[in-house]
Amino acid sequence: MNHPVHETAETMRPSLPHDEPACQRNAAWLGYAGLLPFVALAALVLLSAGDIQVQARTALIAYGAVIISFLGAWHWYAAIELGGSSATLARMSFAVSPALLGWLAILLSHPYGMALVITGLLMTCVADGRWRATSRPWYRQLRQRRTLIATASMTAAVFSQL
């Protein structure tokens, strides 16, 4: 059986039309599942006090840092698939910034850590729009909705303490 040595973004896309709706559906429900920690931890920050609230804020920042790192990794993958252009260098350079922001967010205290995670969520969403040609047509809308919910959750947690 022949296997291609190098697959491009085009050859990796499903070749059958019925694959696309399944991919979109799976991305949608998994994306919403990924929002559960944002919503639950923000609610815990809003409804608790003392040590529980501090732990919930810390967990919310840490989860947000993991998510923005994940979103940056997607851009790293897409950049590698594009080849060696200067645009690829720009995208790869961008791709590492969410992980660095997440790391700094974990080191900083509330509300600064949350502000950095919110910044990372928003900047990756903007980058998704900038480089939308390398993603599925439905991906941008999916990301915009998830970004809105995640940033609203984190913003509520930030303003609950000011």
Please determine, for residue 4, whether its predicted confidence score (pLDDT) is greater than 80. no
Residues 116-129 have pLDDT tens digits of 999 999 999 999 88
For the chain, the structural domain boundaries read 20-159
pLDDT surpassing 70 at residue 93: yes
Predicted TM-score of the model (pTM) = 0.84
pLDDT at residue 18, rounded to an integer: 54
If you write DSSP's letter for every residue of the chain in order, what string do you get?
Answer: ----SS--HHHHS-SSTTHHHHHHHHHHHHHHHHHHHHHHHHHHHHH--HHHHHHHHHHHHHHHHHHHHHHHHHHHHHHHHH-SSHHHHHHHHHHHHHHHHHHHHHHSPTTHHHHHHHHHHHHHHHHHHHTGGGS-TTHHHHHHHHHHHHHHHHHHHHHT--
| pLDDT for the residue numbered 136 | 79
Confidence of residue 12 (pLDDT cuts 50, 70, 90): very low
Chain-wide mean pLDDT for the chain? 86
